[in-house]
Amino acid sequence: MVETKLDLKPGMTVRVYQKIKDLNSKGEEKERVQYFEGIIIARKHRQEIGATITVRKLSEGVYVEKIFPLNLPTITKIEIKKQAKVRRAKLYYLRDSYKKKLKEKIVKS
């Protein structure tokens, strides 16, 4: 399910697809699409050109956060996987070893 970039909210579990340029052993440049899946903990500068989302995921026992500018030309699409019920605009409390699980809403795909 592909959503517009204005519909992204904190608490959503999203998959952000981004084009990556790699160099192989011969020095040739190849382009591939890589995704980063995690929960949105912040959305900043709502309607502006410099709007960003902060996505957080658990990768091999370590939490990783990545900030994506929404108008980045290398972002091909953003898929929404789940929607959690949250009552805050910024979910920074998830950084501080928050033990409870967020309540999920069902997203139709």
Q: Identify the structural domains of the chain with CATH numbers, from first to last.
A: 5-88 (2.30.30.790)
- DSSP summary character for residue 102: P
Average pLDDT over every residue of 2-12: 76
**pTM given for the model:** 0.84
**Between 53 and 106, residue with greater pLDDT:** 53
Backbone angles phi, psi at 71, to 5 degrees: -95, 20
Q: Which tens digits make up the pLDDT trace of 15-72?
A: 999 999 988 888 889 999 999 999 999 999 988 899 999 999 999 989 999 999 999 9
Q: Which of 47, 56, 61, 59 is nearest to 16 (CA)?
A: 56
- If you search the block for the tokens 């026992």, which residue do you land on? 61
Question: Does 1 score more than 50 pLDDT?
Answer: no
Average pLDDT over every residue of 79-105: 86
